[in-house]
Chains A and B, each alone.
Chain A
Amino acid sequence: MTAPAGSLLAAEGLRKAYGPTVALDGAEFSIHPGEVVAVMGPSGSGKSTLLHCLAGIVTPDAGSILYDGRDLATMNDAQRSALRRSEFGFVFQFGQLVPELTCVENVALPLRLNGTSRKRAEQTALDWMRRLEVDDLAKKRPGEVSGGQGQRVAVARALVTSPRVVFADEPTGALDSLNGERVMELLTEAARSASTAVVLVTHEARVAAYSDREIVVRDGKSRDMERVV
């Protein structure tokens, strides 16, 4: 395939089935550096699967995914893991912070997985926590902080490696609208200032409104809403 000009991550003809359930049926996608793209659609439409495929967590049955000129299909699991460690960041709805580790240790985790020393990793982590206004929670454990705070810690963790793409799957799904918006604001602001691309899976229009562009997934097929108008 030929990726759209200037795109950082692009996919075409993605197909993925879990048993008899078809999650993706010829979906496509592209994102530019620094762009925030919302992936919307009804639940069960395959938007999470699209995100998992794009991030190299799940291998699609068919179709190609180009990241920075490299085809994810030709990479093995270790290479894709390394890519996720160093170039990607992740925010999920919940259940992603390691309950035993303190918040700052959680944020430092991706850096440490990349081999950064503990001290330096935690220093960087603290800087990012400051930017997301949760540096006062550094020594607390995830069980002791509120949902909104936890999600900000998760955002800090997603950004701590200065990734080129952040994948956010319903990052505000478990939050009320005030906390959700704050998280979205901080996420998009931080991402834009570092020209990090954000793939944002959500079913809430108000969350999607933080994006630059919107893609709707229905029945495993994608539609770029920019081209509609």
Chain B
Amino acid sequence: MRTARQWARDLAMGVRFAFGGGREGWTRALLTAVGVGLGVALLLLTTAVPNVLSVRDAREQARADHTFSQPPRPKAADTLVVADANTTYGERDVRGRLLEPEGPKAPLPPGVDRFPAAGEMVVSPALKDLLTSSDGTLLRERLPYRIAGTIAEQGLVGSHELAYYAGAKDLAPRIDNSRVARIVAFGEKVPGQTSERMDPVLILLILVVFTVLLMPVAVFIAAAVRFGGERRDRRLAALRLVGSDSRMTRRIAAGEALGGSLLGLVLGTVFFLIGRQAAGSVEVLGTSVFPSYLNPSPALAVLVAVAVPAASVLVTLFALRGVVIEPLGVVRTAKPARRRLWWRLLLPLGGLAMLYPMVGQGRENGDFNQYLVTGGVLLLLVGVTALLPWIVEAVVARLGGGSVAWQLAVRRLQLSSGTAARMVNGIAVAVAGAIALQMLFAGVEGDYTEATGKDLRRAQMQVHLGADGGGSDAGERFRATKGVRTVTQLSMGSLSDRRKNPEQSASITVGDCAALRELATLPSCRDGDVFELTGAEYDDGASALVKPGRTLYLDPSYDEDPGREIPWTVPRRGLREAASVDGLLGFKADGLLLTPGALRKGAGGAVASTAVSAPASALDSSLGSALSSEIYLRLDRSVPDAAEYVRNTAARVDPLADAMTWTSTRESEKFTAIRQGLFVGAACVLALIGASLLVSQLEQLRERRKLLSSLVAFGTRRRTLGLSVLWQTAIPIALGLLLASVVGLTLGSVLLRMSAAKVRVDWPSVLSMTGIGAGVVLTVTLLSLPPLARLMRADGLRTE
């Protein structure tokens, strides 16, 4: 009881000291508070991340229209035809929907209060801004609708999302239950669609990402409460002189740190609120959020509020353990106890021991033990902070020789290697974690990234016009588009053995000779030719079906889905074989290749026999609606906005045309989200650590002001001093990054083994992460050069 009261009294006194002591005292307390505040803000933001994910998910769910899985239903008072009209503008995705309400009770999408009339659209605020700015000129052409209103927040998943709902007419005939559908509600729970269970490896990734991001923040906070340490020592000595005992003094010191961290909590909350607001106005890697998403869960917020001040007290007490505070000054125990290696090695080894039992578990054997994973990763990373001071001390003690700048730096490091190591700890932990993660990502990437099979040499864009899409001049219109080199138009469809409910079918591909040559090796080709493909990867029985003179049916009817049932007769002569090649489609196609003349001729006979003298154009149009048309485009890379021009043409040809830019791989979207999260987090953490490095660097420089001035007085080149500052940071950083790489690679290998993936060192990511770490140091050094130059002015001598 008495001790508790004494503790409280001493701590309170320390808190008072933290803010007393005039301008200098305030500055120091503020510095600590800002440091802690930044850390706290980041912690609060992180605790809000689960909320962000769930809110985004809920909003996405609420506006889902599930065009793919709608049961067939008739037009009614409560139906709405919705068409997917997504597009891409530059690197940004635009979510677009065409809406045609079919009755007064048609469902409104969330965030929209009335349906836009045909030719009008409601847009997200970000899209509105884009369309009215000069950057949006090309997109404006693509969306030729009048802006009639904006989509409210609840209809959007992010503040910077580009989205529109446009009113349309005559959508019903195009319902295909893939991109166009008739729905009765948004956000419907579709039977049979269960929420995806999270993959254990993905959960492992998320766990590790969080641990890896939060560790450096903790290290940073620990460093922040020690800002201004050397001045504080003098003050502590003065306290001893007036009679406080050693323990009291320590408690008072802890109280000072407590004061700073309490103020830091307040500042952190303010920073968080500012950051929360600011978060609404930024978009990172295509992801934006609304401030309202960023509500930290109360339990985690309370944990932060308690843990941070408590940690500041503990860190201070721990830091003072090797220090004797005497009335006449602070003595670092004369011969500082040589840093011992064994307990420092124990931490990472312990971490490995915790992770080891899970090696080889993979994704098939259920969830990973979260506590073991977190604990193991934590111990490994804490091991970095424990090992680094030892390594820095051991290495620096062996350094010697070199230029004056080098000598100044090395000697300084030898005298206070602990300070140097502390400065670097944060970066080392962040880099170690990031390397491990990158390695894990690279290792499991194969599992989550599918090769698209697209050959980018043959085409860079593909426009899917669908059935009935575009009309006959579509190819011409693309050919006339700016930035397009060549256009390959192919129409696909299938021939069946019966008009209704066929049992067998063969695919056909229609195109001119040049287009057909993209799919097969043709000995010769004229309009009117028909080829049967050989050597296909899959053969669905075309050869059995395709017999000369046999009549087959294009677009047959199914029970619930009436088709056009166009008869087509296999020519009696001239059916030639052609070897399928792996070209434009990314696989070897099968079935028949038809030139347009052959298609018309085969259908012509049949049509002529059923319908009397149908005009050629009517035949073409009916054939066109039975085939789905694809346009493959080769672009002129020297035209910067070629893709945009193509998309605009596509939109003009058919608002529902789907223009895709080809990529060679496609990543799983969830995987992409985690990876983006990691990059954002790592960037924040490294920036934060950079800031703290800068603060402590400047503080050190200020304390050496007089010395610097006198060095300049006797003619030291500014370059020499600048270089010595650089070395002073670069040496520990280099060691830190080296250790970080070793630990990161170890952790990465273990995590990969845990996910049962092949262990492979991803050197580019190791290099890029260490490079970023080194870049932070360089930036900090550069930023501290102007103040250094100011300090080196002779004014420093004047105070004497």
Contacts of B408 in A (CB 8 A): 98, 100-101
Contacts of A55 in B (CB 8 A): 713
A52-B797, A98-B707, A101-B407 are known contacts. Are A113 and B720 too (CB-CB below 8 A)?
yes
- Asked if B411 and A85 make an inter-chain contact with CB atoms under 8 angstroms apart, the answer reads no
State the total of A-B contacts with C-beta under 8 angstroms. 85
Contacts of B711 in A (CB 8 A): 98
- Asked if A92 and B800 make an inter-chain contact with CB atoms under 8 angstroms apart, the answer reads yes
A96-B707, A113-B404 are known contacts. Are A84 and B798 too (CB-CB below 8 A)?
no
Contacting A at CB under 8 A, from B707-721, are 707, 710-718, 720
Give bound CA distance, A18 to B414, whole Å: 39
A57-B797, A96-B707, A113-B720 are known contacts. Are A84 and B411 too (CB-CB below 8 A)?
no
Contact check: which of B706, B712, B715, B797 meets A88 at CB < 8 Å?
Answer: B715
Give bound CA distance, A82 to B712, whole Å: 11
B326 to chain A, nearest CB (A): 15
A48-B797, A95-B706 are known contacts. Are A57 and B401 too (CB-CB below 8 A)?
no
Give bound CA distance, A213 to B404, whole Å: 38
Contacting A at CB under 8 A, from B769-800, are 794-795, 797-798, 800
Closest to A82 in B: B715
- Asked if A58 and B710 make an inter-chain contact with CB atoms under 8 angstroms apart, the answer reads no
A101-B407, A169-B800 are known contacts. Are A95 and B714 too (CB-CB below 8 A)?
no
- Asked if A109 and B404 make an inter-chain contact with CB atoms under 8 angstroms apart, the answer reads yes
Contacts of A99 in B (CB 8 A): 415, 707
- Asked if B411 and A110 make an inter-chain contact with CB atoms under 8 angstroms apart, the answer reads no
Report B702-744 CB contacts with A as 1/0, cut-off 8 Å: 0000110011111111101000000000000000000000000
Report A140-169 CB contacts with B as 1/0, cut-off 8 Å: 010000000000000001100000000001
Contacts of B105 in A (CB 8 A): none
Instruction: Determine whether A41 belongs to the interface, using a CB cutoff of 8 Å to chain B.
Output: no
- Asked if B798 and A110 make an inter-chain contact with CB atoms under 8 angstroms apart, the answer reads no
- Asked if A101 and B707 make an inter-chain contact with CB atoms under 8 angstroms apart, the answer reads no
Instruction: Determine whether A112 belongs to the interface, using a CB cutoff of 8 Å to chain B.
Output: yes
- Asked if B411 and A101 make an inter-chain contact with CB atoms under 8 angstroms apart, the answer reads yes
- Asked if A81 and B411 make an inter-chain contact with CB atoms under 8 angstroms apart, the answer reads no
Instruction: Determine whether A118 belongs to the interface, using a CB cutoff of 8 Å to chain B.
Output: yes
A7 to chain B, nearest CB (A): 22
- Asked if B716 and A57 make an inter-chain contact with CB atoms under 8 angstroms apart, the answer reads no
Contacting B at CB under 8 A, from A151-194, are 157-158, 169-170
Give bound CA distance, A84 to B717, whole Å: 10
Give bound CA distance, A225 to B412, whole Å: 46
Contacts of B415 in A (CB 8 A): 99-100, 141
- Asked if B797 and A92 make an inter-chain contact with CB atoms under 8 angstroms apart, the answer reads yes
Give bound CA distance, A149 to B523, whole Å: 101
Interface size class for chain B? 20 to 34
Give bound CA distance, A219 to B800, whole Å: 18
Report B399-414 CB contacts with A as 1/0, cut-off 8 Å: 0010010011001101
Contact check: which of A90, A100, A158 meets B411 at CB < 8 Å?
Answer: A100
Give bound CA distance, A78 to B712, whole Å: 11
Give bound CA distance, A14 to B491, whole Å: 93
A203 to chain B, nearest CB (A): 12
- Asked if A83 and B715 make an inter-chain contact with CB atoms under 8 angstroms apart, the answer reads yes
Contacts of B800 in A (CB 8 A): 48, 92-95, 169-170
- Asked if A57 and B404 make an inter-chain contact with CB atoms under 8 angstroms apart, the answer reads no
Contact check: which of B706, B714, B716, B717 meets A89 at CB < 8 Å?
Answer: B714
Give bound CA distance, A118 to B405, whole Å: 13
Closest to A93 in B: B800
A52-B797, A57-B794, A58-B794 are known contacts. Are A88 and B714 too (CB-CB below 8 A)?
yes
- Asked if B714 and A110 make an inter-chain contact with CB atoms under 8 angstroms apart, the answer reads yes
Contacts of B716 in A (CB 8 A): 81, 85, 113
Please count how many residues in chain A sit with their CB below 8 Å of the partner chain's CB atoms. Answer: 37
A57-B797, A58-B794, A118-B401 are known contacts. Are A113 and B717 too (CB-CB below 8 A)?
yes
B616 to chain A, nearest CB (A): 88
- Asked if B717 and A95 make an inter-chain contact with CB atoms under 8 angstroms apart, the answer reads no
Contacts of B798 in A (CB 8 A): 18, 48-49, 52
Contacts of B712 in A (CB 8 A): 57, 81
Contacting B at CB under 8 A, from A101-128, are 101, 105, 109-110, 112-113, 118
- Asked if A90 and B710 make an inter-chain contact with CB atoms under 8 angstroms apart, the answer reads yes
Contact check: which of A57, A94, A101, A109 meets B713 at CB < 8 Å?
Answer: A57
Contacts of A48 in B (CB 8 A): 797-798, 800
A213 to chain B, nearest CB (A): 24
A48-B797, A48-B798, A92-B797 are known contacts. Are A84 and B713 too (CB-CB below 8 A)?
yes
- Asked if B707 and A95 make an inter-chain contact with CB atoms under 8 angstroms apart, the answer reads yes
- Asked if B714 and A85 make an inter-chain contact with CB atoms under 8 angstroms apart, the answer reads yes
Contacts of A158 in B (CB 8 A): 714
Give bound CA distance, A4 to B404, whole Å: 39
Contacts of B794 in A (CB 8 A): 52, 57-58
Give bound CA distance, A43 to B795, whole Å: 17
Closest to A154 in B: B710
Contacts of A49 in B (CB 8 A): 798
Contacts of B797 in A (CB 8 A): 48, 52, 57, 92, 169
B799 to chain A, nearest CB (A): 10
Contacts of A57 in B (CB 8 A): 712-713, 794, 797
Centre residue among A18, A81, A82, A95 by max chain B CB count within 10 A: A95
Give bound CA distance, A100 to B798, whole Å: 23
Give bound CA distance, A93 to B713, whole Å: 13
Contacting A at CB under 8 A, from B423-466, are none
Instruction: Determine whether A86 belongs to the interface, using a CB cutoff of 8 Å to chain B.
Output: yes
Closest to A173 in B: B800
- Asked if B710 and A113 make an inter-chain contact with CB atoms under 8 angstroms apart, the answer reads no
Closest to B402 in A: A118
B789 to chain A, nearest CB (A): 11
Contact check: which of B707, B715, B795 meets A85 at CB < 8 Å?
Answer: B715
Contacts of B707 in A (CB 8 A): 95-96, 98-99
Contacts of B715 in A (CB 8 A): 81-86, 88, 110, 113
Residues on A facing B (Cβ under 8 Å): 18, 48-49, 52, 55, 57-58, 78, 81-86, 88-90, 92-96, 98-101, 105, 109-110, 112-113, 118, 141, 157-158, 169-170
Would you give 10 A-B contacts (Cβ < 8 Å), ordered by A?
A52-B794, A85-B716, A89-B714, A92-B800, A100-B412, A100-B415, A101-B407, A110-B715, A113-B404, A118-B401
Nearest 7 pairs between A and B by C-beta? A85-B715, A84-B715, A100-B411, A96-B710, A95-B706, A57-B794, A100-B412
Residues on B facing A (Cβ under 8 Å): 401, 404, 407-408, 411-412, 414-415, 706-707, 710-718, 720, 794-795, 797-798, 800
Besides A81-B717, A90-B714, A95-B706, 14 other A-B contacts (C-beta < 8 A):
A52-B794, A58-B794, A81-B712, A84-B713, A88-B715, A90-B713, A98-B707, A99-B707, A109-B404, A110-B715, A113-B404, A113-B714, A113-B716, A118-B407
